[in-house]
Amino acid sequence: MRNHTNYGSSKSREAPLALEKETFQDDLPRAVIRPNEYLLLDGEWKFAVDPNDRGVAENWFVQHTFSQTANWPGSVEQHLAASQQEGSSWKDKIVVWYEREFKRPEYASSVEESDTIPQLTFGACGYETQVWLNGSPLTTIEGERIHIGEYTSFSYELEKLRPINRLTVRVASSMDADIPRGKQESHVYKRGGIWYQTFTGAVRSIWLENVERNRLRSRVGVVSIIEDNLVRFTLTTRIHDPGLYKIKLSVFLPDARANETLVAEDEFPLMLEAGQKSQRLVLDVPDALLWSTENPNQYKLVAQLVNEQGAISEIETKFGLRKFEARGSHLYLNNKPIYLDGILYQPGNATYDQIKRHLLAMKELGCNLVRIHIAGVDPRIYKLADKIGMLLWVEVPSPHQSTLKSRENHQAELLRMLALIGTHPSVVIWSLYNEDWGAQDIAHNLDTREYIVNMYHYMQLAFPQFLVVDNDGWQHISFEGRLKSDLLTAHLYTPDLAHWQWMLDELTKGNLDTIAAFPLVVGDPYFYRKQVPLVVSEWGGFGFENYGGPVDDTDRASQITLFKKELAKRSVAGDVYTQATNIENERNGLIDFETGALKVPAGLLASKKVT
């Protein structure tokens, strides 16, 4: 139901998704849903720039005359351009304010007499976000008065709603190189070439929903042990009233007729204290159908938290059973060898509709893997990849300088992303850093290397469903001759076929010092003897003026075919072509950014097409 241009009231229960492009309809950027109603607060908001950062001191959250409007979601840069005040860019720091009113939903009228709480969720906003409701400051569930971060969701529990409510939001960002920025410009890396304009602020939806006082949070970690048909679920409880509870897990197998078959269920009694706590639960899924790129079988999990009086809090999500691992020089999906035919993808300021078209086009190109390049993306892309059978390589948006503060920010962003992405079978690889960005001193700073090694070991223990790359492209870390990365990756750029052949020969022989911009391994001596898979995780870039190679699409396709043939002749476990679409000055995309149409023949990047 849509009852206002600015309001959207809907149910959260999802219908089964078909594969056609037009059927992927999902309003909220989240993987885990609740069978409740929500109020979508997207649409027109009041808007103001705060050039001197005086709004807090002047109590703009109590009263302020907003002279502009802006559509949420949308970046600060888009809103600045639309306001025609500042242009679309900013130079050092930006502070903006948003405000709107909304009616209390009918379903929230009896909240004070019930066991539910209004919860306000931001799909993503930042880098700094402060929120006031009716002039009173809000604190996130994690206890933040100022939420720090730009790429993941965060929520507020609301004590009371009035018939008409006023929501005020302050957003601040800067060019600080200690902030995880990905490819957005900073004080260190200026816009131009491979660096992009900032894209920050109100970038994803906001919604209001009723949630139970005692509930399961909207995050589910999934680890499969496929040999035993076991699935380990990690759930997070949010408890206001301590006591005896039970968690009931039910797993269903959806079919094409929208029917569901119960295949497994179990109950787990728990004595829960007040606060937030993670809990691992294991369920046997007999005769499990595995998730793969050819057969992306998914199950539906319904998880219920039940108190002693029988009150239920419920969440649901899709998941798949799969195993992805590195053994020797090869990669395996569900114990079967797999070669990664990958492509580099930077969504930039693409809408979700454009992202859908891009991802389906990458599948048409013959890719079985997309490397989402140091970007925070709409989480619906993970759900779509789960559905169509596309492997994903995820990366933490990197800071732009190596300091203690940048490492602290990097770790916080990594942990936020992990909490929300651990559900998806499509996500198989994580990069901690890329090409030393944010770790420029990795070759000689022991603190930098120690941090990266610690995060690598942490992810191995806490998230065994992923392979982890320490620093993608070059300068991987060796400690006592052991690589602190599950893959040995190399970024190899050349338009010359003979030079390409030489680089691949040197790489596969284990001559790691001269083929890339920097040595492939730093730290203690490391001797490659096929003990880890080799992946050429960036190559090509044909058409970009700094990378050389043919510009014409037909000539590019021919060159790509020749280069893929050389990869197929060697002991390489995968490759990632640069890149999917044009982004600003990087004019090397194989897919039209606006339409998703291919510029080159379908199947071009599939190794099985190379003869």
Q: Looking at residues 149-169, what average pLDDT do you find?
A: 96
Q: Which two tokens stand for residue 66?
A: 């907003």
DSSP 8-class letter at 228: G
Is residue 440 over pLDDT 80? yes
Q: Looking at residues 533-552, what average pLDDT do you find?
A: 89
pLDDT at position 88: 55
pLDDT at position 365: 98
Alpha carbon distance 443, 277 (integer Å): 38
pLDDT per position as a tens digit, 227-249: 999 999 999 999 999 999 999 99
Is residue 258 over pLDDT 80? no
pLDDT per position as a tens digit, 176-206: 999 999 999 998 998 888 888 888 899 999 9
Q: Which two tokens stand for residue 426?
A: 């499509």
Q: Among candidates 583, 454, 451, 472, which has minimal Cα distance to 534?
A: 472
> In this predicted structure, which of 103-107, 232-236, 293-297, 579-583 has the lowest mean pLDDT?
103-107
Residue bearing the bigger pLDDT, 532 or 109: 532
Check: CB of residue 564 under 8 Å from CB of residue 607: yes
Confirm or reject CATH 1.10.3720.10 for domain 215-319, answering yes or no: no
pLDDT per position as a tens digit, 313-329: 999 999 999 999 999 99
Q: Looking at residues 23-39, what average pLDDT do you find?
A: 78
pLDDT at position 114: 72
Q: Among candidates 388, 335, 347, which has minimal Cα distance to 365?
A: 388
Domain 8-212, CATH: 2.60.120.260
DSSP 8-class letter at 196: B
Alpha carbon distance 127, 430 (integer Å): 22
Q: Which residues of 22-45 are buried (b: 16+ CB within 10 A; e: fewer)?
A: eebebebbbbbbbebbbbbbbbeb
Alpha carbon distance 121, 32 (integer Å): 13
Of the options 3.30.70.1350, 1.10.10.10, 3.40.50.150, 3.20.20.80, the CATH number for the domain spanning 324-609: 3.20.20.80
pLDDT at position 548: 74
DSSP 8-class letter at 593: T
> In this predicted structure, which of 136-150, 189-203, 454-468, 512-526 has the lowest mean pLDDT?
189-203
Alpha carbon distance 275, 258 (integer Å): 37
Is residue 17 over pLDDT 50? no
Mean per-residue pLDDT of the chain: 92
Check: CB of residue 536 under 8 Å from CB of residue 585: no
DSSP 8-class letter at 440: T
Check: CB of residue 33 under 8 Å from CB of residue 41: no
Calculate the dihedral angle through the C-alpha atoms of 367, 373, 377, 383, rounding to the nearest 10 degrees: 30
For the chain, the structural domain boundaries read: 8-212, 215-319, 324-609
Q: Per-residue confidence at 609, pLDDT binned at 50, 70, 90?
A: very low
What do you get for the CA distance between the two ends of the chain, in Å? 53
CA distances from 310 to 248, 273, 399, 429 (A): 12, 18, 47, 41
Q: Looking at residues 558-580, what average pLDDT do you find?
A: 97
